[in-house]
Amino acid sequence: MKVTDYFDKSKGQTHISFEVLPPLKGGSMQAIFDTLDPLMEFKPPFIDVTYHREEFIYNKRESGYYEKIAIRKRPGTVGICASIMHRYGVDAVPHLICGGFSIEETENALIDLNFLGINNVLALRGDARQFEDKFIPEPDGHKYAVELVRQVNNMNHGIYLDSNIEKGSKTDFCIGVAGYPEKHYESPNLETDIMFTVEKVKAGASYIVTQMFYDNENFFKYVDACRQAGITVPIVPGLKPITHKYQLNSIPRKFFINMPEALVKEMVKADDKDVKAIGVEWCIQQSRELKASGVPCIHYYTMGDAKTTHKIASAI
């Protein structure tokens, strides 16, 4: 079933969905099952699986020169999606990114997903690679997520890259895209960022999942601004609890978001052993308020921490 069908069917009800990361290469599928098994009691309508492109590492050779090696640390997104659907009978949403893919490779990946019966995708651009200061698309790849959305939408209309295919089989992908309540870090301002999000929706996106945030006001203002800009599709808040003090710095550095003063103050003065409980409680309060506001779904970034996610989901 499509992600948006779940929202349509259960108007007024707030679903809970989860996002998992593929295990590091050499790991097993059991790590994903260990995360998801205890969370299935919350009946998530869908589970997202992130995609991680290759990274570069530099190995020092005997000559003193460095050798640049590309490695993919977390392969397996498509296989994990198929496995999740098979084990739990719930829909899996693979994240598809522009980075590292030609449009031909993207088309082939979409054909595979369609054949596997996966009919939801989250269409993203991806970030700049380590050691690159900006996102560099493949020469024959997409530069922005909107172009990827267009490609998926074309396939939904039976339009493939090969113009000789006249009556191409129509795929039926429900397309989600990313949104940023505190704006995307490259965007000059929130208005411009939302303007490009409008383009993603016009191109065929049916729902938005947001970057994590810790102040619900930012989310509510973002939804208002999107609605004013003409976006009518469901907007799903993404949440991730803080479990360690160092995340007060690492999360803003990595995700370009702000931490509310009240949360920072409470965490800074707390003993290390109490930090997790504070972060979990903060996330529960955020979740309760979001639920009361009538959001269609709350999306939790599990980061493989089933226990913490379970605690939060139980509380709401």
Q: Toward ligand FAD, which CB reaches closer, 6 or 275?
A: 6
- Give per-residue burial for 13-37: e unless 16+ CB within 10 Å, then b: ebbbbbbbbbbeeeeeeeebbebbe
Nearest C-alpha neighbor of 159 from the set 200, 107, 121 = 107
Whole-angstrom Cα distance, residue 271 to residue 293? 33
Q: Toward ligand FAD, which CB reaches closer, 126 or 296?
A: 126
Q: Toward ligand FAD, which CB reaches closer, 35 or 276?
A: 35
Q: Toward ligand FAD, which CB reaches closer, 124 or 290?
A: 124
Q: Toward ligand FAD, which CB reaches closer, 218 or 276?
A: 218
209: left (phi over 0), alpha (psi -120 to 50) or beta: beta
- Neighbour-count burial of 84, counting CB atoms closer than 10 A to its CB (0-12 exposed, 13-18 middle, 19+ buried): buried
Q: Which amino acid type is present at position 194?
A: I
Closest approach, Cβ 25 to ligand FAD, in A, equals: 16
* 58 contacts 67 by C-beta, under 8 angstroms: yes
Closest approach, Cβ 136 to ligand FAD, in A, equals: 12
**H or E stretch covering 64:** none
φ, ψ of residue 299 in degrees (nearest 5): -105, 120
The full length of the chain comes to 316
Q: Toward ligand FAD, which CB reaches closer, 177 or 312?
A: 177
Closest approach, Cβ 126 to ligand FAD, in A, equals: 4
Binding site for ligand FAD (CB under 6 A): 50-51, 95, 97, 124-127, 144-146, 178, 184, 186-187, 193, 196, 200, 209, 211, 238
